[in-house]
Amino acid sequence: MAVSVWLASVLLALGLSLVESQTGEDFTKLLSDFPNIDSRVRPVKNYSTVSVVNVSFHLMAILGFDTITQKLSSTGWLQATWSNEYTTWNPDHYGGVRSVSPNPATMWRPKLTLKNTMADLKPMGEDYINLELLPDGTTIWYPGDLLETFCRVDVTYFPFDIQICRWEMFVWGEGLDTVDLQVTTTDIILDTYVGNGEWQLMATQAWRDVRKNSTKPTPYANYEVTLRRRPTLLALTIMLPITVLAFVNVFVFTIPSESGERLSYSITVLLSFGVFMGFVLGSMPSSTENIPIMALNLAGLLVLSAIYVLLCIMSLRFFHRDHHKYPVPSVLKSFVVILETVFCLDQYLPKKNRVKVRQADVSELLDPACNPALVSPALVDIRKGRIVRRMQLVVSNADAMKSDVSDVMKSDVMGKAGAELGDEDDPDKREEASKAKDEMSWPRVSRTLDRLFFRFFGFLVLASNVTMFAVIIFNFRETIRSGLR
């Protein structure tokens, strides 16, 4: 209402400033000379004439968009012009009066009504909103109000969602044969628009159509905005923590069973997921028509978190099972071996070509201070890629010199060099591996399963998050493109 009052006073001031040197008598005379026509009667001399009302919509602000009740609150005003055949005058006869504002309550005005309103279903414009008359009978009226409209919300891609909202206006009680509504612009006029912090206005559109359904054909003025939610804050406060939590959760499988912390860790993460979910769902629009992809993702992650707890319990039970009382069943044994080989989960088998010789090891070996036998300056110059060759050199040198290089160090260097070169013919390693392979204990079953779970769920969480982000962002771009018709 405050908006309307402000508007009315501005327009009144505007109207009076146009008046130059006319006297009050001129206006009074003009107004009293107008024929006394009832305000319910359309101001046309031949009643078969259709009154054409031209409208343009000026959006002032989007006050709020309640996506739960699907209500868009906004303020705006219309500029409506029509022709009054009874109120024409010659300015020269009235001291040059070119514009006059009679009492709006005594004049005919179209009952412009919002069809998709969520407030009172009543025509726009109060009686105090000024109305301006021009000498040729053109009447200009600026009804404005707080508009509360229904806007169907699609939150599938929350928080990267785009909403399209409309204001549909018609003239109450009139059909195409009496009052025709014409839309004079192809857009909503945004000269008085102030931005909104949560919603960014992407595009606007305006058009007229005629609808007839159980009533006479009625012209409608339709105004539409495309609103984009500003996603940064929600992405930071909702999406990022969920994603981080999801990844942190998977790491429960890397905690050693001996530590005794596993179960409390997984329960804690599950709980924080639950708490967080309540918070997130509270800030998410709860529409049953479409479920946000993010809510699905959240629910999935919560279920996964519960599954982790169960798997942890299982793994812990395996770990602490008495090997002598309950030997590992042969089926489980072969299953674990298959897992280890197929998914490379083995810690017992020799790692082929996987040992990396760290430069530090070599440097230490080649440091004359640690290793007085090796004083050849050529060996001290180490570069990547030559390490292995140098090491062989060291080994052969050491062998040849039969110096103080300790046996331990020698075998260490040889082992590393051999591993690096992919030397699989090391009989010691093979023997060790086959021994380990035969020896199947419950802790080993537990550890292998943990490794499998870690990889499997890590991949699952990664894939589901990447998919979700990809779908949302792809759709976001598509909607923006189609929204800006």
Binding site for ligand NAG (CB under 6 A): 46, 48, 52, 54, 81-83, 138, 182, 184, 211-213
- Which of 116/184 has CB closer to ligand NAG? 184
Closest residue by Cα to residue 99 from 183, 22, 1, 160 = 22
* Rounded least distance, CB 269 to ligand NAG, Å: 50
* Rounded least distance, CB 219 to ligand NAG, Å: 12
CA distance 230 to 236: 12
* Rounded least distance, CB 211 to ligand NAG, Å: 4
* Rounded least distance, CB 135 to ligand NAG, Å: 13
- Which of 216/435 has CB closer to ligand NAG? 216
* Rounded least distance, CB 484 to ligand NAG, Å: 26
* Rounded least distance, CB 215 to ligand NAG, Å: 10
* Rounded least distance, CB 54 to ligand NAG, Å: 4
- Which of 43/159 has CB closer to ligand NAG? 43
Q: The dihedral of CA 447, 449, 452, 454: what is its sign?
A: negative
Q: Please say whether the beta carbons of 223 and 57 come within 8 A.
A: yes
- Which of 179/277 has CB closer to ligand NAG? 179
**End-to-end Cα distance, the chain:** 34
Q: The dihedral of CA 368, 371, 372, 378: what is its sign?
A: negative
CA distance 51 to 426: 102
Token pair in block for residue 393: 């050199």
Closest residue by Cα to residue 252 from 320, 318, 305 = 305
- Which of 212/351 has CB closer to ligand NAG? 212
Torsional class of 111: left (φ above 0), alpha (ψ -120 to 50), beta (otherwise): beta
Closest residue by Cα to residue 3 from 54, 63, 53, 56 = 63
* Residues 6+ positions from 164 with CB-CB distance below 8 Å: 151, 224, 225, 226, 227, 483
Whether the bond into 104 is cis, omega within 30 of 0 = no
- Which of 106/184 has CB closer to ligand NAG? 184
- Which of 43/102 has CB closer to ligand NAG? 43
